[in-house]
């Protein structure tokens, strides 16, 4: 099989993460697709940002869900990266999909939401459907309840469960006890999205997932040497910073 290579938050080493310049750079440098994070502003607009606050990636402060879309758009999401990108704005989900719609595969990560998570899930799905991109989109989340919500809306939506090696960050600790297939089945997942190191244990992880009909889409690959190594692991997707 040919492993698909996705830009993590776009080509985040070439342009500020989760912005249109980063997504364009991923396209220009040959990525098969991109991964990006969806959240909702206080007035119901879906925007793309990884952190729950704007502090690290803009010239403002405060939570995404505590600001209106107009307030978010007034911030500079580029100058923290370099002066070249001064004035870059936070993109909407619609703008992002319009930019990347011709890529092979999209990974839409829905961030855990304190306010109206069911609305965030529904609006995200409706927006992707409106662009006619459901057939090339994988939805994922660290909050597995959101994927269950999405499956209730659309049983055919492709959903992945995100997890990392830190027990305190795990939604379901059974994932680190070798019960990954059980967890995937309980939440109706189509894919598992582990940190790439977690595919090494237990032995045969990738094979067992594939035999159960699950895709294995990894993240956390930040070095070229690791990218080349894991391309040989029969993975479905590698989400990487190396674009």
Q: In the chain, what are the domain boundaries? A: 4-240
Q: What was the pLDDT predicted at 199?
A: 97
Q: Rounded to 5 degrees, what are φ and ψ at 128?
A: -65, -45
Question: pLDDT (tens digit, 9 = 90+) per residue, 220-240?
Answer: 999 999 999 999 999 999 999
In the numeric block, which tokens belong to residue 166?
């830190």
Question: pLDDT (tens digit, 9 = 90+) per residue, 64-86?
Answer: 999 999 999 999 999 999 999 99
Q: What was the pLDDT predicted at 1?
A: 81
Q: What was the pLDDT predicted at 167?
A: 86
CA–CA distance, 46 with 30 (Å, rounded to integer): 27
Q: How big is the chain by its Cα radius of gyration, in Å?
A: 17
CATH number for the domain whose boundaries are 4-240 = 3.20.20.190
> Average model confidence (pLDDT) for the chain?
97
Q: Residue 221's closest CA among 243, 199, 241?
A: 241
Q: What was the pLDDT predicted at 77?
A: 99
Q: What was the pLDDT predicted at 168?
A: 86
Q: Are 197 and 165 in contact (CB under 8 A)?
A: yes
Q: Rounded to 5 degrees, what are φ and ψ at 76?
A: -95, 110
Residue 169 has pLDDT above 90, yes or no: no
Q: What was the pLDDT predicted at 243?
A: 98
Q: Rounded to 5 degrees, what are φ and ψ at 105?
A: -150, 145
In the numeric block, which tokens belong to residue 102?
């011709």
Q: Are 96 and 133 in contact (CB under 8 A)?
A: no
Q: What was the pLDDT predicted at 126?
A: 98
How far CA 61 is from CA of 40, 56, 64, 77, 82, in Å, comes to: 16, 8, 9, 12, 19
Q: How many CA atoms lie within 13 A of 67 on its CB side?
A: 20
């Amino acid at each position: 099989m040919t492993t698909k290579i996705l830009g993590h938050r776009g080509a985040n080493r070439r342009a500020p993460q989760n912005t249109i310049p980063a997504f364009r750079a991923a396209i220009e440098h040959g990525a098969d697709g991109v991964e990006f994070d969806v959240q909702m502003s206080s007035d119901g607009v879906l925007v793309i940002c990884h952190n729950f606050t704007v502090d690290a990636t803009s010239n403002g402060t405060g939570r995404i869900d505590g600001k209106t879309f107009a307030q978010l758009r007034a911030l500079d999401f580029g100058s923290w990266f370099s002066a070249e990108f001064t004035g870059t704005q936070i993109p909407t989900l619609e703008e992002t999909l319009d930019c990347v719609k011709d890529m092979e595969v999209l990974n839409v990560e829905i961030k855990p939401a304190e306010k109206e998570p069911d609305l965030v899930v529904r609006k995200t799905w409706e927006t992707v459907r409106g662009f006619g991109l459901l057939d090339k989109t994988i939805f994922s989340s660290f909050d597995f309840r959101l994927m269950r919500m999405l499956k209730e809306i659309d049983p055919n939506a492709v959903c992945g469960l995100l997890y990392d090696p830190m027990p305190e960050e795990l939604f379901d600790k059974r994932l680190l006890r070798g019960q990954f297939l059980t967890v995937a089945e309980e939440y109706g997942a189509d894919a598992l999205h582990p940190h790439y190191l977690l595919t090494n244990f237990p032995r045969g992880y990738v094979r067992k997932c594939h035999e159960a009909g699950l895709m294995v889409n990894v993240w956390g690959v930040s070095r070229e040497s690791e990218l080349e190594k894991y391309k040989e692991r029969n993975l479905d997707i590698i989400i990487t910073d190396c674009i």
